[in-house]
Amino acid sequence: MKKPDFCSDHTAPRRLNGVNPLSDELLEWFYRFAASGGIPASWVGPDYSSLPKPQNKTPLSIEIVSHCWNYANILSYQLSSLVRFPPKEVKVCMTVFYSPEDKRTCEVLDYFGKIMLDNVRWNFWPLEKAYLLRRAIGRNLAALQSRADWVYFTDCDVLFREDALDMMGQSLRGENSLLVYPRVHQVSELLPNDDPVFQDYTQSGMIRDILPERFYPEERNRAIGCFQIMRGDAARLGGYCQNITYYHRPVKRWRKCYEDRTIRWLLGTQGTPVDVPGFFRIRHAAKGRKGKVVGES
């Protein structure tokens, strides 16, 4: 299937060797200090003020960027939400970064990759495990190479239900902010590993759904890591912390995503809230990316 021109191209990340663990700890501390306002963002990032005001374009294209490592069961809910509630007024490219080592995720992607949808295109992007586990690497690759009007950085536990993406498209049309996020989204309780939601997809089937009654509204006052929706021209200009080499070094274990705070510092905004329905997030007690696979006994 031909990939639409607003999807990111599959370009390999840079290889960096000889990293000193001590220097990593110091760099992490430094950039956390910097993102708190300790130094001017202009010392590190590009000048986003040079970007022109976006045009009021129809239809908008949105590239959704997600990561999956040992979260195959939850990823199947995210991709199912696009199949069950496909957008009608926006063009969506669904980019998923994954590792070929994660066989269960490969099975899920192989299944959904065969489903044809009018306004959704699949863009499944393999990375070596060490590159996948530093989420900023994939986000940066997608940001620099996407041709979409907006790049939506999310996690694989977020679902897009009725009218979520179409309403988001209406809110984004002509929007001048560099970063937006849903003011209110729906979250589940913290679900234990034995919750029926995490029943193995090989038994329950790939196309899945979770009752909306199991969620409750949660309001945010800033863009968080799974709800960071960046203007496409800003993404292409600065990537995802593109100038900060530390955030693009491969790692052996999943690293906390402090770069989500750093990108807001570089953009000079905590994000502009928009009032749109239909965004749901599954909260799960078992952390597959840190060890045990969600849904496995």
In a domain, 2, yes or no: no
In a domain, 51, yes or no: no
* pLDDT at residue number 36: 67
In a domain, 249, yes or no: yes
Question: What's the total number of domains in the chain?
Answer: 1
In a domain, 53, yes or no: no
In a domain, 5, yes or no: no
The C-alpha atoms of residue 45 and residue 232 are separated, in whole angstroms, by 16
In a domain, 119, yes or no: yes
232, pLDDT greater than 90: yes
- Whether residue 264 contacts residue 222, with contact meaning beta carbons closer than 8 Å, is answered with yes
Q: What is the pLDDT of residues 139-152, one digit of tens each?
A: 999 999 999 999 99
Residue 228's domain comprises 21-46+58-290
Q: How many residues does the chain have?
A: 297
Q: Span 32-51, mean pLDDT?
A: 76
In a domain, 16, yes or no: no
For 124, how many CA atoms within 13 A lie in the half-sphere containing its CB? 19
Which of the four pLDDT bands, split at 50, 70 and 90, describes residue 77? Answer: very high
Among 7-11, 91-95, 158-162, 237-241, where is mean pLDDT lowest?
Answer: 7-11
157, pLDDT greater than 80: yes
Where residue 163 falls (left for φ over 0; alpha for ψ -120 to 50; beta otherwise) is left
Residue with tokens 């490592």: 69
CATH of the domain at 270: 3.90.550.10
Q: Span 29-36, mean pLDDT?
A: 66
228, pLDDT greater than 70: yes
In a domain, 3, yes or no: no
